[in-house]
Structure 1
Amino acid sequence: MSKKVSYLLGIAITIILGTFLYLKFCCNCYEKTTTDDAPKIVSPAVQEPNFVPFVLNGSGIEYQTHDNLKFLKNSAILIMPVSDSVTTGVEKLKAFLTTNPKQKVTITGYATSDETNSTTFENLGLARANDVKNYFVSKGMSENQFNTIGKIIDTWKMSGDTLLGPADYTFETIDSSSATNDEWTALKEKINADPLILHFNTNKSRQTLSDAEKQKVSNIAKYLENVKDAVVVAVGHSDNVGNRDSNIILGQKRADFSKDYLSKNGIDAARIETSSKGPDEPVGDNATEEGKATNRRTVITIK
Structure 2
Amino acid sequence: MSKKALYLLGIALTIILGTFLYVKFCCNGSMETPAADTEKVPTVAVKDNNFVPFVLNGSGINFRINDNLKFLKNSAALIMPVSDSVTIGVENLKTFLISNPKQKVTITGYATSDETNTTKFENLALARANDIKNYFVSKGLLEAQFDIKGEIIDKWKTDLDTLLGPADYKFETIDTTTTANDEWSILKEKINADPLILHFNTNKSSDNLTAVEKQKVSDIVKYMNQVKDASVLVVGHTDDVGNRDSNIILGQKRAEFSKNYLAKNGIEASRITAESKGPDEPVGENTTAEGKASNRRTVITIK
Give your verdict on TM over 0.5.
Answer: yes
Aligned residue number for residue 270 of structure 2: 269
Aligned residue number for residue 170 of structure 2: 170
Percent of aligned pairs with the same amino acid: 69
Distance 1:192 1:47 in 2: 65
Unaligned runs of 5+ in 2: 1-40
* Greater alpha carbon shift after TM alignment, 190-199 vs 100-109: 190-199
Aligned 1:2-151 pairs, distance under 5 A: 48-151=48-151
Aligned residue number for residue 242 of structure 2: 242
Distance 2:106 2:278 in 1: 55
TM-aligned CA deviation for residue 270 of structure 1: 6.2
Aligned residue number for residue 202 of structure 1: 202
- TM normalised by structure 2 equals 0.72
Amino acid of the residue matched to residue 62 of structure 1? Answer: N
Aligned residue number for residue 282 of structure 2: 281
Give CA deviations for 1:55-79 in whole Å, capped at 9, x if unaligned.
2222333333333211111222222
Alpha carbons 2:248, 2:276 under 8 Å: kept: no
TM-aligned CA deviation for residue 253 of structure 1: 3.2
Give CA deviations for 1:190-217 in whole Å, capped at 9, x if unaligned.
432443323222123x544548666655
Amino acid of the residue matched to residue 58 of structure 1? Answer: G
Alpha carbons 2:252, 2:274 under 8 Å: kept: no
Distance 1:292 1:57 in 2: 62
Distance 1:195 1:95 in 2: 35
Amino acid of the residue matched to residue 179 of structure 1? Answer: T
Aligned residue number for residue 37 of structure 2: none
Alpha carbons 1:263, 1:269 under 8 Å: kept: no
TM-aligned CA deviation for residue 167 of structure 1: 0.8
Q: 1:79 to 1:281 in 2, by over 3 A?
A: same
Distance 1:226 1:134 in 2: 38
Alpha carbons 2:106, 2:147 under 8 Å: kept: yes
Distance 1:106 1:233 in 2: 45
Alpha carbons 2:259, 2:269 under 8 Å: kept: no
- TM normalised by structure 1 equals 0.72
Distance 2:271 2:155 in 1: 68
1:179 has 2:193 as partner = no
Q: CA RMSD in A?
A: 3.1
Distance 1:216 1:166 in 2: 51
Aligned residue pairs, count: 260
TM-aligned CA deviation for residue 276 of structure 1: 0.9
TM-aligned CA deviation for residue 54 of structure 1: 1.9
Alpha carbons 2:65, 2:85 under 8 Å: kept: yes
TM-aligned CA deviation for residue 110 of structure 1: 0.8
Q: 1:54 to 1:202 in 2, by over 3 A?
A: same
Q: 1:122 to 1:196 in 2, by over 3 A?
A: same
Unaligned runs of 5+ in 1: 1-40
TM-aligned CA deviation for residue 263 of structure 1: 5.6
Distance 1:131 1:270 in 2: 54
